[in-house]
Amino acid sequence: MANCGQKNKWISEQACVSMAHTCNLYCLYCHNPPDGKRQDPLKTAALIKTAGVKAVSLEGGGEPTAGTDFFNWIKALKAAGVKNFMLSTNAVALSDRAFCRKAAADIDFFTVNFPSHRAEIYAKVTRSIKFQMALKGLANIKAAGAEEKLRFFHIISSENYRQLPEFALWTAANFPRAAFVNFTFVRNKGRALKAPGIVPRYTQVSPFIKLALANLKLKGRKAVVQNMPLCALEKFEGFSFEFQRWRRGDRVLEDGIAPKARRPACSRCSLKPACCGARPDYLKVHGGGELKASQKDLFSITPERF
Ligand code: SF4
Ligand code: SF4
């Protein structure tokens, strides 16, 4: 994820620990749903120790805090020498104040998948009645003195893209000290394949994401957008996560991400080296007619704060 400078250098060096095996939500867009298979914390910890890993991201197919073994994992990994922890979570289990406080003592960053600040959209997308619990979880993170450790992870889908500007303002008003907001365009994978219409068009989302990013910038908040081609972010390219990766010399697409599709427009485009492109899973739904080759100089793009 982000390179937050030397102080948090561990973030770009962390290992993903895929320890979740179940979930307490049933999101329409879930691209990596749980399979119920448990990993053994002690076996994983032994591998981590051998590899000398000092920072991990707790994640997996499912929700890391939904199993009964969450703190056993932390204990085993700490014993193996891990010093820094990132947690990908939907925050539902953090509605238990004692659980949240205990977690906050060990977790350096909470990456919270929160698809809407509106109860009706949250219910539709997550197919749950746990909106109030997720909100309580977010409030408990704040109450535990960990607001700066909070990173919003907001998956953009057909159900919520019109509310992106409003969501941006809601995060700034309610969590003004949160680390940043990451908007990620939905992938047409996993359960999303069974949810017709869940993937919007880039051109539909474009004006709303730009307004959301502008709102956050005006409020002095950090934001980034992931999995959207640069031609859909014209004049806002500096907010692109992949552009930021290119700037710092990393591969544009993270490990485990499907490669970009080859399109004629991309082969003529000056932005190609720093662009995530359109993905094959997107093209299956909407084709590639929206992509527009650019002649803009990549070095003329100013990266936004991230
Ligand atoms: S997207 Fe996350 S919270 Fe939603 S069902 Fe999948 S694993 Fe659970
Ligand atoms: S044309 Fe292709 S390479 Fe250029 S910005 Fe669009 S998706 Fe990216």
Predicted pLDDT at 263: 92
| Residue the block writes with tokens 């552009």 | 243
In testing the pocket of ligand 2, which one of 246, 268, 275 has its CB within 8 Å of the most ligand atoms? 275
Q: What span, in angstroms and rounded, lies between the C-alpha atoms of 225 and 245?
A: 12
In testing the pocket of ligand 2, which one of 231, 233, 301 has its CB within 8 Å of the most ligand atoms? 231
pLDDT at 33 > cutoff 80: yes
User: How far, in Å, from the CA of 294 to the mean position of ligand 1?
Assistant: 36
Domains of the chain: 6-226 (3.20.20.70)
Q: Taking CB atoms and a 6 Å cutoff, what residues make up the pocket around ligand 2? A: 229-231, 263, 265-266, 269, 271-272, 275, 277-278, 291-294
Ligand nearest to the CA of 260: 2
> Which ligand 2 atom is at minimum distance from the Cα of 293?
1
At 47-61, the pLDDT tens digits run 999 999 999 999 989
Ligand nearest to the CA of 293: 2
C-alpha dist (Å) from residue 206 to 24, 46, 53, 61, 121: 31, 45, 39, 29, 20
At 91-149, the pLDDT tens digits run 999 999 999 999 999 999 999 999 999 999 999 999 999 999 999 999 999 999 999 99
**12 confidence band (pLDDT: 50, 70, 90):** low
Ligand nearest to the CA of 89: 1
At 193-252, the pLDDT tens digits run 999 899 999 999 999 999 999 999 999 999 999 999 999 999 999 999 999 999 999 889
**275 confidence band (pLDDT: 50, 70, 90):** very high
Q: What span, in angstroms and rounded, lies between the C-alpha atoms of 185 and 104?
A: 28
Long-range (24+ apart) CB contacts under 8 A made by 287-291 are 288/261, 288/263, 290/201, 290/202, 290/203, 290/231, 290/232, 291/229, 291/231, 291/263, 291/265, 291/266
User: For strand 55-60 and strand 15-20, is the pairing parallel, antiparallel, or unpaired?
Assistant: parallel
pLDDT at 4 > cutoff 60: no
Instruction: Return left, alpha or beta for 98; rule: phi > 0 is left, psi -120 to 50 is alpha, else beta.
Output: alpha
pLDDT at 9 > cutoff 70: no
Q: What is the pTM of this model?
A: 0.94
Closest protein CA for atom 1 of ligand 1: 30
> By the 8 A CB rule, do 240 and 213 touch?
no
